[in-house]
Amino acid sequence: MDKNVGKSTSNDPGKKKKKEKEKEKEKEKEKEKEKEKEKEKEKEKEKEKEKEKEKEKEKEKEKEKEKKKKKKKKKKKKKKKKKKKKKKKTKKSWQKSANKSENRGLDGYRTSEWKRESVFRYGIAYRKGNPISKHSTSNQIKILHMDNL
């Protein structure tokens, strides 16, 4: 009979070393798997942060658009107000009387009497066809002197 018959082989030193090496390899594999999982978690966190940043940028863009819309509305309102402020100018009594046909000569312009009155009352300049205004240009205004009347 063999000597090894009936004896357990678990005490064999070569087999023990192999088992220990296998266990170490398994532990190393488990550690590597854990590291990979941690890396994946970190990547997911980074992706979430990027998504949050994108959302913040979108919110900022929306706020800017709203501000621009508000500014446009304000500008439109201001323009409307300016239009409302314009008023019709009322003619003064001397302007009304100057335009009456009785105060005009045969040529359709104001008579010399009216010229004298306007010089006496309102200064020495008159404009053909219309009374003098602040906006009259030098081309439209004819200067009169008391000597020439």
Cβ burial of 110 (10 Å; 0-12, 13-18, 19+) is buried
Q: Work out the percent of the chain whose per-residue pLDDT is above 90.
A: 30
Hey, which of 100-104, 122-126, 142-146 has the most confident mean pLDDT?
A: 100-104
Which band of pLDDT confidence, cut at 50, 70 and 90, is reported for residue 145? very low
State yes or no: pLDDT of 57 exceeds 60: yes
Contact 119, 149 (CB under 8 A): yes
Beta bridge partners of 143: 125
Smallest CA-to-CA distance from 89 within 141, 128, 133 is with 133
Which 8-state DSSP code applies to residue 5?
T
Q: What is the pLDDT of residues 8-47, one digit of tens each?
A: 556 667 778 888 889 999 999 999 999 999 999 999 999 9
| pTM score of the predicted model | 0.33
What's the mean pLDDT when you consider all of the chain?
A: 71
